[in-house]
Amino acid sequence: TTNVGHPKLEAWKYPLPGDSLIFRIHRVVIHLDGPKVVRLQMPPDPHRSSVTDHVASWDGTFLDVEWSPDGSQLAFLSNSRDHKEAILRVADPETGEVRKVLEEREETFFESGYRNSNWHVLKESGEVIWFSQRSDWGHLYLYNLEDGQLKNPITHGEWNVLQVLKVDEKGRTVYFTGAGREAGDPYFQYLYRVNLDGSGLKLLSPDSANHEISLSPSGEYFVDSYSTPATPPVTVLRNNKGEKLLTLEEADISRLLASGWVPPLPVTVKARDGETDLYGLLFRPANFDPQKKYPIINYIYPGPQAGSVGSRSFSASRRDNQALANLGFIVVAIDAMGTPMRSKSFHAAYYGNMGDNGLPDQVAGMKQLAGRYPWIDLERAGIYGHSGGGFASTDAILRYPDFFKVAVSGAGNHDNRNYEDDWGEKWQGLLENNPDGTTNYDNQANQLLVENLKGKLLLTHGTMDTNVPVYNTLLVVDKLIEANKDFDLVLFPNRGHGFAMEPYMLRKRWDYFVKNLLGAEPPKEYEFNLSRPRP
């Protein structure tokens, strides 16, 4: 606290990897038409889901639960503590009786979709649409609800189903978004329709771009807004054959361009294996001069549930990457191995070794870019990130001390033994203690690498962070002091996890790179003008 007087204690339950006591799901049905509570006849499940690392969605929705339209049947997934196994069950909400339909187990982690689950029970036909990456790619399969037997694959190939948007049970079709099937950027998502027997796959949004789709309730029409990171959105109305009926809107970015805005440059590099293509965005100064040499800064978010680039749709601002570039840097964001929306083996590339953080790919990609563009000065390489990116950027300067000269790390989960149990246990595995005192989590603990520090490191954290508690950064601080290493630390009092874009944090980050990587003196106590001009 920063108040005068006694501090107020704020406490919350926060299980860690290896804890014997974790949150569990007790499944209960409360009938609103009378004082009746039915407990499902099964043990409680671990607090897990098949989409995120925990059972609550990004918007707080309870995941992996699906009621039949008439309310007579409840379907749900039971997910194992280590995220490797998922069991589809159906329950009678009147009696609490539970029946297992099918189960699937992965060697690493099971997921039923990307950010949204893709399994659906078709009660009228007695079938289940199931999502699996058993072929190394995310696809849909049709099962019998009664006996859990596979009827047929619905989709297949070296590409991914992203999200099921609508199932037409009478028409026996399913509408979904997918990525990687069409030529070009494998992260661009498109709309497709396919029959439940696996026939008749049809692309409904043909333009080479990232498509954001809104289906009409009937499924006969949809609004398609498509764009790329460098081209503004066009919004059209199409019918369910994919035919364009009307152009609704074309974004006008003339004023944005007049302000000096420049689009990011899409880049493709090879991963650590020299074969796998990686995709990213490169940001250059608005007054870019190809005759000059620019320091390069890597913006990193290693996932594993997301990547550094973010959406492939148009955005005028991607964090402060362009603003940082305008100070005299090249800024690059690359989706490395270990991030989603590619093959399962790509996503699980460093399962059980989170200290990898995709860094071999980031370094390999930056070296290739420097070989391709002579205006990149690889001798002045920096890196920054927040949360998982804070973990990864500190990891980077400690594992690659001769490559990265400067790192700025915010709110990092620097040792996942000190982060929430469902995160570490999904991506690193269950905690195993060895007889010699080591653990299977040692390979990701930043505090064990502090002797390697050579460059300039700025650590930041919010003192009231309930997501990644501040003691994660203090683990590293304590070992840096013990090793007599020079470093910088800024703590943000009364802040939680989301301070990365606060003006003071922006200035400290920019100042740190300008002084230590660019070799210039930043303006003293620069103040941001946050007022927006009237249109």
Q: Where is the domain boundary, 230, 250, 270?
A: 250
Answer yes or no: are the C-beta atoms of 349 and 263 closer than 8 Å.
Answer: no
pLDDT per position as a tens digit, 154-165: 999 999 999 999
Measured distance CA(170)–CA(213) in Å, rounded = 22
Phi-psi region of 235 (alpha: psi -120 to 50; beta: other; left: phi over 0): beta
Q: Are residues 180 and 294 in the same domain?
A: no
Q: Are residues 233 and 292 in the same domain?
A: no
Measured distance CA(406)–CA(229) in Å, rounded = 28
Using the predicted structure, report yes or no on whether residue 534 has a pLDDT greater than 60: no
Question: In 3-state terms, what secondary structure has residue 244?
Answer: strand
The range of the structural domain enclosing residue 332 comes to: 255-518
Residue 102 lies in a domain: yes
Of 322, 329, 477, nearest to 405 (Cα)? Answer: 329
Q: Where is the domain boundary, 227, 250, 273?
A: 250
Residue 100 lies in a domain: yes
Q: Are residues 408 and 469 in the same domain?
A: yes
Measured distance CA(486)–CA(8) in Å, rounded = 33
pLDDT per position as a tens digit, 416-474: 999 999 999 999 999 999 999 999 999 999 999 999 999 999 999 999 999 999 999 99
CATH number of the domain enclosing 390: 3.40.50.1820
Per-residue HEC secondary structure of 25-66 comes to ECCEEEECCCCEEEECCCCCEECCCCCCCCCECCCCCECCEE
Measured distance CA(342)–CA(307) in Å, rounded = 11
The DSSP bridge pattern shows strands 277-283 and 294-299 to be unpaired
pLDDT at 447: 99
Structure tokens at 433: 């203690």
Q: Are residues 81 and 221 in the same domain?
A: yes
Residues 6+ apart with CB under 8 A from 91: 27, 29, 40, 73, 74, 75, 76, 97, 98, 99
The number of beta carbons lying within 10 Å of the beta carbon of residue 460 is 25
pLDDT per position as a tens digit, 112-144: 999 889 999 999 999 999 999 999 999 999 999
pLDDT per position as a tens digit, 396-425: 999 999 999 999 999 999 999 999 999 999
Residues 6+ apart with CB under 8 A from 425: 17, 81, 82, 83, 431
Residue 187 lies in a domain: yes
Structure tokens at 405: 């000269």
The DSSP bridge pattern shows strands 456-462 and 488-492 to be parallel
pLDDT per position as a tens digit, 182-195: 999 999 999 999 99
Measured distance CA(104)–CA(122) in Å, rounded = 19
Q: Please, which pLDDT band fits residue 55 given cuts at 50, 70 and 90? A: confident
Q: Is 32 exposed, middle or buried (0-12, 13-18, 19+ CB in 10 A)?
A: exposed
pLDDT at 532: 55
Q: Are residues 267 and 245 in the same domain?
A: no
pLDDT at 227: 98
H-state helical runs in 441-502:
471-482
Q: Are residues 58 and 197 in the same domain?
A: yes
Structure tokens at 167: 């199932």
CATH number of the domain enclosing 243: 2.140.10.30
Q: Are residues 183 and 290 in the same domain?
A: no
Residue 524 lies in a domain: no
pLDDT per position as a tens digit, 167-177: 999 999 999 99
Strand pairing partners for 226? 211, 234
Q: Are residues 175 and 294 in the same domain?
A: no
pLDDT at 116: 87
Instruction: Report the Cα 111 to chain-centroid distance in Å.
Output: 13
Of 450, 472, 358, nearest to 398 (Cα)? Answer: 450
pLDDT per position as a tens digit, 344-384: 999 999 999 999 999 999 999 999 999 999 999 999 999 99
Answer yes or no: are the C-beta atoms of 25 and 44 closer than 8 Å.
Answer: yes
Cα distances (angstroms) measured from residue 482 to each of 448, 475, 476, 485: 11, 11, 10, 8
Question: In 3-state terms, what secondary structure has residue 364?
Answer: helix
pLDDT at 531: 60
Residue 15 lies in a domain: no
Q: Are residues 194 and 280 in the same domain?
A: no
Residue 331 lies in a domain: yes
Q: Are residues 230 and 377 in the same domain?
A: no
Position 93, amino acid: P
pLDDT per position as a tens digit, 298-343: 999 998 999 999 999 999 999 999 999 999 999 999 999 999 999 9
Instruction: Report the Cα 215 to chain-centroid distance in Å.
Output: 25
Q: Are residues 219 and 278 in the same domain?
A: no
The number of distinct structural domains making up the chain is: 2
